[in-house]
Amino acid sequence: MSLPETATPLVRTATGFFQAQALFAGIELGLFARICTAPATAEEIQREFGLHPKLTRDYLDSLVAMELLGRDGSSYRASPLTATYLDPRKPEYMGGFLAHNQRRLYPAWGNLPGFLRSGESLVKQLSEGDFTDGLYADPKRTRHFADAMDGYAVLLGRPLAEKYPWESVKSFTDLGGCRGLLTMRLAAAHGHLRGVTFDLPPLEPLFDELVEKEAGDSDLRDRVSYHAGSFFTDDLPDTQVYILGHVLHDWVDERRRALVNRAFEQLPPGGTLLVYDSMIDDERRDAAFGLLMSLNMAMISGSSEYTVSEGIGWMKEAGFEVEQPVALNELSTLLIGNKPV
């Protein structure tokens, strides 16, 4: 084994939270939302946000170095990344997802040594019931959670619309689809599709609110709908395709199998189940994001990520004929299971 030339990788990893907190601060302060409306000098930003004069320039220039801001002379502007994903007026806005990481996940990871010893998830610590019991009891938390889940729809809506052959599909249901942004984005991308979001009753008002925003003058509101229920106990909508996106990683293996089996039972012959998550490579040595996400899921809900082979195995056990895995992006893998005719 050759010796590493430098400890720089360790330093970069150990100080990675510097960048995360710089990003979070910009969202919490409202800086990115402001800078997306018009450029501003350091002095203007300092006055508008009440920042300390000795810190403002270093902070703004750090954001420039991180490619979150651009700078022309003394004037700061939104970078292309920020203008696309950190402008609340844009359809690709990711601020809710990033704020969720700051509010809920960052504090949890601060107690990683204790969690590794106890194995006690936040759900067990904070509530007696299911993860969703506490989440949906508080309307403010429900909205924050929906804002966060919209981030996954932004990340994966376009690749899912492009990498699966929707031309032959007339209808689909996003099981556990939160307030329905993925359903709306898929239906908007393919004008012949009818989509259903299936999730718990507290999310339905947020779906109704969002569809008005997403539809505009289009026929989208006529092609998407919300079906309230539990995918463990209630009948699933009659559609050609079911989607389980970032859902199986919320549950232990027994319940994952139950969900996949229910999908198989209720799909028509020739129907399809699409499953995507931040899956782990079968050798468990390359998918750093998936492995760390597995720890994350264990901390917040007592569940985990899973390997590609495990996901394929559950689908085959249920009776699906499984196609080759598809990389939706660098972070998520898609499994396609077809119910025999």
**pLDDT digit string (tens) for 108-143?**
999 999 999 999 887 555 444 455 556 788 888 899
Residue 1 lies in a domain: no
Q: Are residues 27 and 158 in the same domain?
A: no
Looking at the predicted structure, is the pLDDT value of residue 57 above 90?
yes
Q: What global pTM score does this model have?
A: 0.93
Q: Are residues 68 and 100 in the same domain?
A: no
Residue 216 lies in a domain: yes
The strand pairing partners of 244, in sequence order, are 275
Over residues 321-341, the mean pLDDT reads 97
Active site residues: 249
pLDDT of amino acid 331: 93
Nearest-angstrom CA–CA distance, 147 and 178: 10
pLDDT of amino acid 1: 72
Residue 160 lies in a domain: yes
Q: Are residues 52 and 152 in the same domain?
A: no
Q: Are residues 207 and 240 in the same domain?
A: yes
Residue 208 lies in a domain: yes
User: Two tokens at 290?
Assistant: 């998936």
pLDDT of amino acid 136: 81
Percent residues over pLDDT 90 in the chain:
91
Residue 105 lies in a domain: yes
- Residue 101's domain comprises 96-338
Q: Are residues 219 and 316 in the same domain?
A: yes
Looking at the predicted structure, is the pLDDT value of residue 181 above 70?
yes
Please report, for the domain that includes residue 18, its CATH number.
Answer: 1.10.10.10
pLDDT of amino acid 86: 98
Q: Please list, in sequence order, all residues whose beta carbon lies within 8 angstroms of the beta carbon of residue 304, skipping any fewer than 6 positions away.
A: 249, 294, 297, 298
Q: Are residues 46 and 155 in the same domain?
A: no
Q: Are residues 73 and 111 in the same domain?
A: no
Q: Are residues 174 and 267 in the same domain?
A: yes
Q: Are residues 218 and 320 in the same domain?
A: yes
Nearest-angstrom CA–CA distance, 202 and 293: 27
Q: Are residues 81 and 102 in the same domain?
A: no
Q: Are residues 211 and 163 in the same domain?
A: yes
Q: Are residues 255 and 292 in the same domain?
A: yes
Query: In which band, very low, low, confident or very high, does the pLDDT at 5 lie, cut at 50, 70 and 90?
Result: confident
Residue 90 lies in a domain: no
Q: Which of 53, 85, 117 is the C-terminal boundary of a domain? A: 85
Q: How many domains in the chain?
A: 2
